[in-house]
């Protein structure tokens, strides 16, 4: 009788261990599936479309309901305005349409099912929020270390969604995150990393070198002419460079949607 009891106990123990291993394997597989699904072109497109519509429609509607308050043009729109005048503001929508076209093309080429789980999109939102907070805290740490600048209190975070003046700032963050990631990551970093990979036949080095080059350009693009005087702040240049490098790695290994979301989230926190 005792032997049967011992055998049953051992069987239960082995069964519990097997269940634990199976559960661990399932969790690992679920994580792998999410990281694959969230990088798919269709998932990226479905994640980005609401942000694109929010920005483009908000840019048109906000001045009508706020007494003329409008979001300031970002880096990409400012460049378009230099080239095409006021029409550059309208042409900014072409940047978003470029990303839509590229993602649709990549989805068509992938022959994947035209479906995306709402759970995947929800987890992507959570991932973006978490990574945005981490990047923002790292930025505060850099400013504290280099310039002894105390972290900002985020006192206007709520105003971004209810106050027209601050909602314009929120729209500026949306526009910057969308247009700059499409230009600097999708176009410049994408082409540079592919070209260097073929040239040196080492993907990791190609990604890092491309990220550094694009990040230097990104940091310079965010320096206004007035910055290049005695008051030029190396810390801000360094912060923009490092943030861009992180966004390049996110784009390469987590996809365009996560890179755009983190850029927008970081700008929102930095503006609040």
Give yes or no for residue 228 having a pLDDT over 50. Answer: no
Using one digit for the tens of pLDDT, what is the confidence trace for 60-90?
Answer: 888 777 666 778 888 898 888 888 887 777 7
Domains of the chain, by residue range, sit at 29-271
Vertex 161: Cα angle to 174 and 97 (nearest 5): 25
Using one digit for the tens of pLDDT, what is the confidence trace for 192-208?
Answer: 999 999 998 889 999 99
The per-residue pLDDT for 20 is: 44
What integer is the mean pLDDT of 1-29?
51
The per-residue pLDDT for 249 is: 96
What integer is the mean pLDDT of 228-232?
49
The per-residue pLDDT for 143 is: 82
What integer is the mean pLDDT of 118-143?
94
What are the angstrom distances between the C-alpha of 110 and each of 42, 104, 106, 196, 248? 10, 10, 6, 23, 23
CA–centroid distance for 192 within its chain: 19
Using one digit for the tens of pLDDT, what is the confidence trace for 231-262?
Answer: 567 778 889 999 999 999 999 999 999 999 99
Higher pLDDT, 4 or 43: 43
The model's confidence at residue 17, banded by pLDDT at 50, 70 and 90, is very low
Higher pLDDT, 107 or 18: 107
The per-residue pLDDT for 268 is: 92
Identify the CA nearest to 168 among candidates 50, 48, 54. 54
- Looking at the chain, the number of H-run helices and the number of E-run strands are 11, 0
The per-residue pLDDT for 179 is: 95
The per-residue pLDDT for 232 is: 60
Instruction: State percent of the chain over pLDDT 70.
Output: 84
Give yes or no for residue 23 having a pLDDT over 50. Answer: no
18-52 exposure pattern, b = at least 16 Cβ within 10 A, e = fewer: eeeeeeeeeeeeeeeebeebbbbbbbbbbbbeebb
Give yes or no for residue 175 having a pLDDT over 90. Answer: yes
Higher pLDDT, 33 or 31: 33
The per-residue pLDDT for 8 is: 54
What integer is the mean pLDDT of 149-168?
76
**Across all residues in the chain, what is the average pLDDT?**
84
According to DSSP, residue 181 is labeled I
């Amino acid at each position: 009788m005792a032997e049967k009891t011992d055998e049953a106990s051992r069987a239960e123990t082995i069964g519990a261990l097997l269940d634990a291993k199976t559960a661990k394997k399932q969790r690992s597989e679920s994580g792998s599936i999410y990281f694959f699904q969230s990088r798919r072109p269709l998932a990226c497109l479905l994640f980005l479309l609401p942000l694109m519509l929010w920005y483009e429609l908000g840019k048109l509607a906000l001045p009508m309901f706020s007494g003329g308050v409008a979001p300031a043009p970002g880096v990409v729109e400012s460049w378009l305005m230099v080239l095409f005048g006021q029409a550059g503001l309208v042409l900014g929508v072409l940047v978003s349409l470029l990303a839509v076209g590229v993602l649709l093309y990549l989805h068509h080429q992938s022959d994947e099912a035209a479906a995306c789980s709402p759970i995947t999109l929800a987890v992507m939102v959570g991932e973006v929020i978490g990574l945005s907070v981490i990047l923002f805290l790292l930025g505060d740490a850099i400013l504290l270390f280099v310039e002894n600048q105390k972290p900002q209190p985020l006192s206007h975070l709520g105003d971004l969604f209810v106050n027209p003046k601050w909602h314009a700032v929120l729209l500026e963050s949306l526009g910057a995150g969308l247009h700059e990631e499409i230009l600097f990551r999708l176009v410049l970093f994408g082409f540079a990393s592919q070209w260097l990979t073929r040239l040196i036949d080492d993907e990791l080095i190609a990604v890092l070198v491309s990220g550094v080059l694009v990040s230097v350009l990104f940091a310079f693009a965010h320096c206004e002419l007035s910055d290049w005087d005695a008051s030029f702040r190396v810390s801000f240049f360094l912060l923009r460079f490092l943030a861009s490098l992180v966004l390049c790695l996110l784009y390469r290994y987590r996809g365009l949607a996560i890179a755009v979301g983190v850029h927008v989230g970081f700008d929102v926190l930095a503006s609040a």
